[in-house]
Structure 1
Amino acid sequence: MKKVLFALLAACCVWAAYDYSRPVDNYVVRTVAAEGDTLWHLVGGVMDSEGDHRDVREVIFWTRKISNIEGDLQPGDVVLIPIEVRK
């Protein structure tokens, strides 16, 4: 049983090292908020379409920072969404 657990642990470590070493594309997607849009909706939609698998709350935090959004999202606000995609 210990050998099986050790082999599983080793396989997980190899997979994590492989995943960490893959190149990453970082870029920003610019969008404009429309009536009724929320950051959750905008950021989640862009992340899904671009293939970003990070936690949406983390990306919303950075979106607020780089877009200078302090309160609620208003129609016409320019929203800059940082995207990170592993190749």
Structure 2
Amino acid sequence: MSKTTKGLVKAFIITAILLAGLVFLTGGSAAKLAIRAHGFLFPSYSRTLVAYTVGEGQTLWEITGRYMDQQDKYRDCRELMHDIAEYNNLNGVKWLQAGQQIVIPLYKEI
């Protein structure tokens, strides 16, 4: 084993021991803090499906705009519009028909 590899192994072992000691000394609160941080970095969402009837002359863009403020997952309308199109198998469809039923998948952070 080279000097560099030995040094990396030692550094890894020392780091693991220090982290284990920190968790032990704080009664696991460090682990709880890490879990909360994970939720902040990678939020969880609950999905609600909303039935929608397309009105005369409505576009997917217009319908998407109506629901942007009712969801937490996307900041860009195009992302929600993509989800709606995928969920309803509308990829490649150029026009919506008046009276057509679609489902709007909305995601709220939990």
* AA matched with 1:77: Q
Q: CA RMSD of the aligned region, Å?
A: 2.4
1:56 corresponds to which of 43, 62, 77: 77
Give the structure with higher Rg (CA).
Answer: 2
Q: Is the 8 A contact 1:47 1:53 kept in 2?
A: no
Aligned length: 73
Query: Which 5+ residue runs of structure 2 have no aligned equivalent?
Result: 1-33
Q: Percent identity?
A: 27
Query: Which 5+ residue runs of structure 1 have no aligned equivalent?
Result: 1-13
Aligned residue in 1 for 2:107: 84
Where in structure 2 are the equivalents of 1:1-87 lying within 5 Å?
17-20=38-41, 22-48=43-69, 50-54=70-74, 55-69=76-90, 70-87=93-110
3-state SS of 2:55 partner: coil
Instruction: Give the TM-score normalised by the residue count of structure 2.
Output: 0.54
Instruction: Give the TM-score normalised by the residue count of structure 1.
Output: 0.65
Richer in strand (by share): 1
